[in-house]
Chains A and B, each alone.
Chain A
Amino acid sequence: MNKLLMFLLTLSCAALLAGAARADSYWITYEGNDYPENEGWTRHTGAGGAQRSIEQGALVLDGRDDIMIYDAYTMSRQIDPAPGELFIMRARLKVDEMASEPWDPGFGVASDESWSALFVFSETRIFNVDDLGMSASFEPGVFHTFELRSWDMRSFELCIDGNLSLTGPFTHIISASSVSWGDMVEGEASLSRWDSFEFGVVPEPGGVTGMVVLSMVVFGVSRMYTHIRK
């Protein structure tokens, strides 16, 4: 039994390492503890940009003075997942106030082949810019985690606090290979707090590697637990 357990755990570790060692995998995190341009992000502003501060580990963007204000952050790099990988873009934020309607903060991605998904937020809803009739609601006044996942950069799933809320296609545009977030919209005014923003490519949980890893780990732990109880 011990030999079998060791074999399974070894396989699990090997699969994990194989997945982690893929050259295409990457993960970039901004945690709201510093201004984004100090952490490799490019700042884009209009009308002087928002009044900014760092409060309790979150970036505060106050653009309520002028609807022409925008204050967005982009990072250009190769974006796309390889087969068997998953692209994830995740933002944790709170929209404190909209000084105009209907939306202002946002986040989006443009793939290596110029396929884009772009979303904007009001105090209570998230909208897909490419299909503004597509939106999902969330509780106002508290932080939420919005996570976009794509396996092929042609379609997406969007989860709010872990719950699947929207699905849809990407749109072909000119801009390529970047992610962006912040006070995105010129023409609206808002106050928002960004606790974190992260994106990257990880081994696909539902892929062969992911399934092997998951099944091996679960099976291995189960056998270990059984073995310990004996």
Chain B
Amino acid sequence: MFLWAYSARLFYESKFFDIYFSALPLLYYLQLASYSLYAFLRLLGMQDARFLYVPNYMIEGLFLKFPMILADLGIFFLITKFTRNLLYGALFFLNPFIIYLSAVWGMYDSIMMLPLVYGLIHLSQNNERGAAIYFGLSGLAKLFGFIPFAMMLLYELCRRKWRPIVSQLAVLGLLAGVMFAPFASLNPQSLFVGLIFRVVGVGGVRFPVWNIAVLSGRVFFFGANVLVGFVVGAVLILSVIESRTSSGLFMPTLRWSLVAAALLNIFSQAQPQWMSWVIPLSILYGSVTRKEGLIFYSYFYGVAATVVTTLMIQGIGFLFIGFAPVLLPGLELFRDSIAVYATTVLSMQVVLLWRVSRPSSSFSLRDIFVVSLVCAASYLFFTLFQLGPQIISY
């Protein structure tokens, strides 16, 4: 969060446009817009204060998180309207992991998910062109949005519809051009190396990883993990195959986007916030296929994701105190907590994929039991009996 605050302050205190902003530009523009209201209130004399050891100010943090919270609200309305069920909208908006990411941590995954969900709803109405544009916009917030965008291009390629392909690529190029132009004009090298290459994963930097591959203690990625290419490639091919027999493009796009989101949490570097991607997709998919068990499982999934991220990766006090003293000894930041985290997250994804593949069913406490059992077993294996290798996330 302090990275966002620092970049916004550089602009509003010194008029420095931060070409080294650490995420794709869409977030920077949204936060600059939101921060202008804060700056205006400060100029009018509003005072702000810090809470405990959190480096940014309280009201300042709220304004920086506004775009994410508004995006959550937007997704809530879209899901409620699409499913005609307030409960399903609430299962997204009141999911602890969604609240944690947007309102506590200040992560911007919702900004990617809002146009993604809107695109899927357009696709359900057979508005393919509109859907592709929203998927492209989603990808400009976070690269995951380019997966359904690529699916759309491939469907049209298979149907030899050249005009929509060209027009969609042109619109995407235009959007990207507008977003990247200020960065490119100030320092094109930093745009490519510091931003695009780094985000794509060929920037040469060694990423921290939290996925199952870390369990061996031997797998480190300098940039893109080759498995990501296989996962994305396989999902794209399978979605195209399904689209040839499907009556519309909505279901294959939704199903395989959901599968891709779950698989990327297993095979990529698997940053904790990426776990949120499956939540709105599961609710949409579950409502269309009448898999209520999947919808309610996605709520439990969010609760579990919040618990494992706060206890095993960050420490429960990290975000609200400003550092992470161990407040719950033995339960947080324990020895090899990363291994326990990675194993638990793997089990959460496996249960989710199993739920996706099963015919319609109601929610079962068995899902909670399986994930809890895996978590408890890996805690015993890695932490108490220290049978596994020591795990370091980078």
Q: Report if A and B associate in a common complex.
A: no
Which B residues contact A (CB, under 8 angstroms)?
Answer: none
Which A residues contact B (CB, under 8 angstroms)?
Answer: none
